[in-house]
Amino acid sequence: METGRTGNLSTASNTPAAASRSPIKRRVSFGTIQIPELSKRLITEILETARISSGKYVRLFEERFAELLGVKEAVALSSGTDADILALSVLHDFGAKQGDEVIVPALSFVATGNAVVHAGFKPVFVDIDRKTLNIDVHQIESAITEKTRAIMPVHLMGKPADMDGVNAIAKRYGLAVVEDAAEAHGARYKGKPVGTLGDLGAFSLYVAHIITTGEGGIVVTGNEAYAQILRSLRSHGRACKCKECTLNTTSGFCAKRFKSEDGGDIRFVFERLGYSSKMNELEAAIGLGNLECYREILDKRRNNLLHALKRFERFRPYLATIQEEPWEEIGPHAIPIVVQEGASFTRSELGHYLEQEGIETRTLFASMPTQCAGFAYLGHRSGQFPNAEYIGRHGLHIGVHQDLGLEEMEYVMERLEKFLEAYQK
């Protein structure tokens, strides 16, 4: 398909919308939230008891989430960003020091980089592979120094990172692996759930994600010691960190309460620097309802995503997206769309057109070290992370959530085709 640009998009007669001459047929929103009847019933019960702080329903949600992923431990938190922060902060109990380094991909939602800093580490950025949107494992080793303590791969848009490559490097250098699986619910890599492939896995439970608590996050691990530290960290670093806390779930007698060395209340003995990052009961109730219908939500989203990806070939060489490989299952978070070098239109023009046609869009994040002002203090220069920077200028993404169907996906494909046809004239 050759394109010949025929004027400025601000001129109404030359816009793709004018060229297609079609009214908005559908509304394709980016995200949704599902609050099942179970959640509503539990919320009513919780409100009637007036026990809304972290308690028995948070514990139940953790147990169910751990069962879903087949792991020993899950620790619920107040956000996906906190999940990243606390997962990294665990490393301080195992010799990591303030100012040590964590390797992360240059492209991600800014929370990834923020979390490294808030956990007391320095983010060391590595460029991405444009085809996968994930960290380029071939560039990781050159970023390792004597201060490196962990690698934090991000499964961006739910597409699994190259975990064999990441884990091999981590093993060779004695590094921890903390997976940022914020968008990767339901993703699988070589038969195993994403988030269970490293030492710890951090998920977001934000409203637009496949499993949601409205706000919230959760860390999973097979290491019971890590989980104990996480439970301490989320509550100011206190020594009270039982997996089943009688005080929180029933307010009953606790034999451990006054067994500290000086006989003080263990709830006010603080073993480490911590955070205030607990999930509350109302959020857990939403999460429990979501877990009940998780498979249905996942299947709907997977159908939507794969339907769109299989039909995306027609838009080459002007638009590109990710592809699912035989060894993986993409967690269906969204459809990434990247405007390619040969296109005669910009991301802004494409995004504006899609919004006019009722298709809600989001930009596809940015190169944290060179396109996010908060990291300017690190001294990186534009051009150091060319692939991440390209996506930061030319990428966007659209929803595939469970309130959409194949008709909406076809509508998106048709609108994209109409947009490109407008440049052939």
The catalytic site residues sit at 209
33: Cβ–Cβ under 8 A, 6 or more apart, which residues? 207, 208, 212, 214, 286
Q: Tally the residues of the chain.
A: 425
Tokens representing residue 292 in the block: 């009940």
- Residue type at 103 in one-letter notation: I
Residue whose entry in the numeric block shows the structure tokens 């991405």: 128
198 and 179 Cβ atoms separated by less than 8 Å: yes
In sequence order, the β-bridge partners of residue 219 are 75, 202
Is residue 26 within 8 A of residue 358, CB to CB? The reply is: yes
Q: Which of 350, 328, 357, 356 is nearest to 397 (CA)?
A: 350
What is the sign of the dihedral through the CA atoms of 164, 170, 171 and 177? negative
DSSP-based three-state secondary structure for 316? coil
d(CA 23, CA 20): 9
How many CA atoms lie within 13 Å of 335's alpha carbon, on the beta-carbon side?
31
Contact 423, 344 (CB under 8 A): yes
Q: Give the integer Cα–Cα distance in Å for 58 and 248.
A: 10
Contact call for residues 355 and 361 (beta carbons, < 8 A):
yes
User: Contact 193/185 with Cβ under 8 angstroms?
Assistant: no
Residues 131 and 394: their CA atoms lie apart, in Å, by 14
Question: How far is Cα 239 from Cα 219, in angstroms, rounded to an integer?
Answer: 19
Take residue 158 and report the two structure tokens written for it: 């739910």
Tokens standing for residue 173: 């250098």
171 phi, psi to nearest 5 deg: -65, -40
The four Cα atoms 134, 136, 137, 141 give a dihedral, to 10 degrees, of: -130
